[in-house]
A = this chain, B = another copy of it.
Amino acid sequence: MMKEAASNSGHGHLVIIGGGEDRSDDKEILRRFIALAGGVDRKIVVITAASKVADHMWDIYDKAFGDMGVTNRVPIHVASRADANRSDLARQVASADGIFMTGGDQRRLLAIIGGTELDAAMHHALKLRGACIAGTSAGASAMSGHMLADGSAELQPEKGSVNLGAGLGFLQRVVIDQHFSERRRLARLLTVVSQNPYLLGIGIDENTALVVERGVGIEVIGDGAVTIVDGRTMISNINDIKNRHCPEMIDVRLHLLPGGSRYALHEDEHGVELAHSDSNSSRQDVPLPLKDFLRIVTKRNPIS
């Protein structure tokens, strides 16, 4: 598994982690991130801006990546937009093979780095150099263009209880939630989808990652599952109800992909079927109801 994954380095992978990934035991997810970045000899940077305790965050990943044998590992501490526009830091990020965003608060992360040189450097590294970008918890939520900023939906979905913000845009047309099963966040993801049916909801459990390979496919790794909520054909009364009321939602499509799920599209960017290549032969063909999800998340976006 590691070997094959390593051979796919340079493809511009995303490793979207639901928080609480193992950092001391087998470190499956972190190891996959390093493999997709090209291996332990490559340059890995850790962006701590989501957290108010950046040094503590760096300590955790400094140790974890160090234990794995990564020697070229660099913390990127930015506490302000001025920091995030520093060209020396942006160069560090643009030249990295692996970029890891820690947890914290995705609103803080975007308020500091959104639209800065650092942001542009991440897109540059991902799209022009095929770097691997990973984000955990807040760092996962920040990856999409529309970012789940905060939300309070408790037992049932609740109109007006969730706020979106502008994320980093490594993926479009999705919204990502983390600590998903553990913090019982289906109601809040359904709330987002009820109000924004054009966004696919992605809920990622703890110590679980959705690995996205641009233009190729996806894989779920780790202990939990990835839940996908597709409300595009939903029938809802969201426009007819009051704020804080629960919407009726009919015909939401739900997909549950546990660790081990692995799919490749086998089609080009125009949707034309490709011959199966050897490197993808271990991936199953995509069931029809999942195809659109794969097309959306694996889409090669233009540089934003």
Contact = CB atoms under 8 A, between A and B. Distances in A.
A157 interface: yes
Q: How many copies does the complex hold?
A: 2
B253 A249 contact: no
Contact of A251 (B248, B249, B258, B287): B287
Given A155-B224, A224-B156, A287-B235, A254 B256 contact: no
Interface in A243-258: 245-258
A253 B252 CA distance: 6
Contact of A256 (B156, B256, B287, B289): B156
Interface stretch (A52-60, A96-104, A180-188): A180-188
A248 B235 contact: no
Nearest to A184: B184
Contact of A225 (B156, B235, B253, B258): B156
B261 A248 contact: yes
A258 B205 contact: no
A236 to B, nearest CB: 9
B254 A249 contact: yes
Which of A156, A235, A257, A289 has most B Cβ within 10 Å? A156
Nearest to A233: B289
Given A184-B184, A205-B155, A287-B250, A245 B224 contact: no
Contacts of A287: 235, 250-251
